[in-house]
Amino acid sequence: MSKTKEAPEFQPSSSAVGEFRNCPPTDFSRRVEREALQEALADARERMPFDAPLLINGRTVETPEKIESLNPSAFKELVARSASASKDHTDEAIKAARAAYRDWSRTSAEERAAIILRAAEMLRERRHHFSAVMVLEAGKPWQEADADTAEAIDFMEYYAREMMRLGSRRRLQPYILGENNDLMYAPLGVVGVIGPWNFPLAIPCGMTCAALAAGNTAILKPAEQTPLITYLWVMLMKEAGIPDGVLNFLPGKGEVCGQRLVEHDEVNMVVFTGSREVGLHIIKGAAETPPSRAFVKRVVTEMGGKNGLIVDSSADLDSSVPDAIYSAFGFAGQKCSACSRLIVLEDVYDEYVKRLVEAAESLKVGLAENPGTQVAPVIDKEAAEKIRSYIEYGKKDAKELFCADLDGLDEEGYFVSPSIFPVDSRDHKLMQEEVFGPVLTVIKAKDFDEALDIANSTQYALTGGVHSRTISN
Ligand code: NDP
């Protein structure tokens, strides 16, 4: 409310920067693109092992303790040796972010957006170099690494543009005599960003850019498995002109620096993507508000899933089967939205399952750097062992419909067999527990209502799908 100073009228976003457009995936059917990625892979290999220090207040910091990133396709290969932040480093980064907040929060939305847009442009130019590092550090096949880079570019473009749209002060209608109502958005303060390894560039980049565009300062803690790719992006932001202290980078252990971001009084908000277990722990920890804290800490968490896909009797099996296969086994099933429960109506079940198994038999499991690979390794030894234990359980209890032969790949890399298990009960362990890997369960439903019931019968509610040509469903 203001009686004195006339506020500027709402300004629409600058047309000079253009509309948001999604960054298209690279067309690897073109030789020039294939060669460019091969070159980027060779270049990355020459530079291995990379070094990824902390970045605090614009300065890189080495630590005695190191985190090693091993190539999931060939675990003897050391991709990077990263620093590992202590509690003291975390406190130092929080102090730097707090000090930088004053100027950054008063920098105009246009100036903040301009830095992020410049960085997006640089990322577009170096796209294959980033994707190549992801192939080697995260074990992502070409298309999936490329999609991750494209999504990171999208997040930068989107949040920068959105902030230009939202950043101006708006005069709200209707006017009341003698009273003006203005709407403006204010940043919160220091934001702790805690990222996962499965989209190691796009997710940390998106969560961080949203915070920075809005005028917050940030401390970014990547997952232990993939600090290098996030470090390269942070250095790109530095090169694009992000001021010292505004973006700090803290590779390290979740229970040490992640935990510190959650409990520290000077961190206003925590943004997290990862498992349900850690996400719930963060929500609980952040909610504790001691007298020393002047605010209630905000939390945004994106957690796990147990995606159910219903196939009804009218579904087009020709398109449904390949979609289900890609959803279950693409990204080696390491996606919160991967199809892990296929619920098929009984009148099409036998035909569907027959086609599903035939399609699964043609999947190409292999090294992430081979352009033809469809299913690459999982992220690390711990993940591989956990998924294998589910497969063993499935083999004993459900009798597999399909379990790929790995042909010795698992002796050199973290490979697990893409597998399909039929189950009779919605309460089966494979139907209820999140298996973060290429394991698909199939269950029969007598009609659409029962299928819906089964789809809703887990503790997860993140995503779901229906393949049907019946509009009323
Ligand atoms: P985690 O939850 O184990 O780790 C995620 C991040 O949290 C990592 O950076 C980790 O650090 C950190 N962390 C661990 N412990 C703590 C703690 N006590 N306090 C603060 N931070 C902590 O998940 P994963 O890395 O295993 O990722 C896989 C999971 O993420 C899956 O369950 C999946 O469903 C979910 N996910 C959800 C997505 C979504 O959009 N909903 C997208 C991607 C994944 P460190 O690496 O050091 O352990």
Mean pLDDT of 309-333: 97
23-48 tens-digit pLDDT: 999 999 999 999 999 999 999 999 99
Q: Could you tell me the distance, in angstroms and rounded to a whole number, from the CA of residue 200 to the centre of ligand 1?
A: 11
User: 126 pLDDT exceeds 60?
Assistant: yes
Residue percentage of the chain with pLDDT more than 70: 96
Pocket test for ligand 1, best of 263, 278, 282 (most atoms within 8 A of CB): 278
Catalytic residue among 23, 257, 336, 339: 336
Confidence of residue 17 (pLDDT cuts 50, 70, 90): low
Residues 279 and 303: their CA atoms lie apart, in Å, by 6
188: exposed, middle or buried (Cβ count in 10 Å: 0-12, 13-18, 19+): middle
Whether 302 sits among the annotated catalytic residues: the reply is: yes
Q: Whose CA is nearest to atom 3 of ligand 1?
A: 275
313: number of Cβ within 10 Å: 16
The candidate with the shortest Cα–Cα distance to 196, out of 374, 395, 403, 436, is: 436
Mean pLDDT of 168-184: 82
User: 179 pLDDT exceeds 80?
Assistant: yes
Q: Could you tell me the distance, in angstroms and rounded to a whole number, from the CA of residue 25 to the centre of ligand 1?
A: 27
Do residues 124 and 23 touch, judged by C-beta distance below 8 A?
A: yes
Residue 299: phi and psi, rounded to 5, are -135, 135
Q: Whose CA is nearest to atom 34 of ligand 1?
A: 304
Give the list of residues 6+ apart from residue 310 with CB closer than 8 angstroms, or none: 343, 344, 345, 445, 448, 451, 452, 455, 464, 465, 466, 467, 468
Mean pLDDT of 303-313: 96
Confidence of residue 175 (pLDDT cuts 50, 70, 90): low
The answer to whether the CB of 49 is under 6 A from ligand 1 is no
User: 443 pLDDT exceeds 50?
Assistant: yes
Q: Could you tell me the distance, in angstroms and rounded to a whole number, from the CA of residue 277 to the centre of ligand 1?
A: 8
Q: Could you tell me the distance, in angstroms and rounded to a whole number, from the CA of residue 278 to the centre of ligand 1?
A: 6
Q: Whose CA is nearest to atom 8 of ligand 1?
A: 223
User: 470 pLDDT exceeds 50?
Assistant: yes
Confidence of residue 398 (pLDDT cuts 50, 70, 90): confident
Mean pLDDT of 324-330: 98
Mean pLDDT of 331-358: 97
Do residues 469 and 315 touch, judged by C-beta distance below 8 A?
A: yes
Pair of tokens at residue 446: 């007598």
Q: Are strands 217-221 and 190-194 parallel, antiparallel or unpaired?
A: parallel
Peptide bond into 49 cis (omega under 30): yes
pLDDT of residue 291: 93
58: left (phi over 0), alpha (psi -120 to 50) or beta: left
Q: 0.85 exceeded by the pTM? A: yes
Pocket test for ligand 1, best of 90, 194, 288 (most atoms within 8 A of CB): 194
Whether 336 sits among the annotated catalytic residues: the reply is: yes
Looking at ligand 1, which atom is closest to the CA of residue 302?
41
pLDDT of residue 7: 38
Q: Whose CA is nearest to atom 15 of ligand 1?
A: 254
Distance from first CA to last CA of the chain, Å, rounded?
Answer: 49
CB burial readout 426-444, b (16+ within 10 A) else e:
bebebbbbbbbbbbbbbbb
pLDDT of residue 399: 85
pLDDT of residue 5: 39
Residues 245 and 442: their CA atoms lie apart, in Å, by 50
Looking at ligand 1, which atom is closest to the CA of residue 259?
19
Catalytic residue among 302, 400, 412, 433: 302
The candidate with the shortest Cα–Cα distance to 184, out of 218, 224, 138, 215, is: 215
The candidate with the shortest Cα–Cα distance to 246, out of 272, 220, 273, 207, is: 220
Confidence of residue 471 (pLDDT cuts 50, 70, 90): confident
pLDDT of residue 11: 40
271-300 tens-digit pLDDT: 999 999 999 999 999 999 999 998 999 999
pLDDT of residue 98: 98
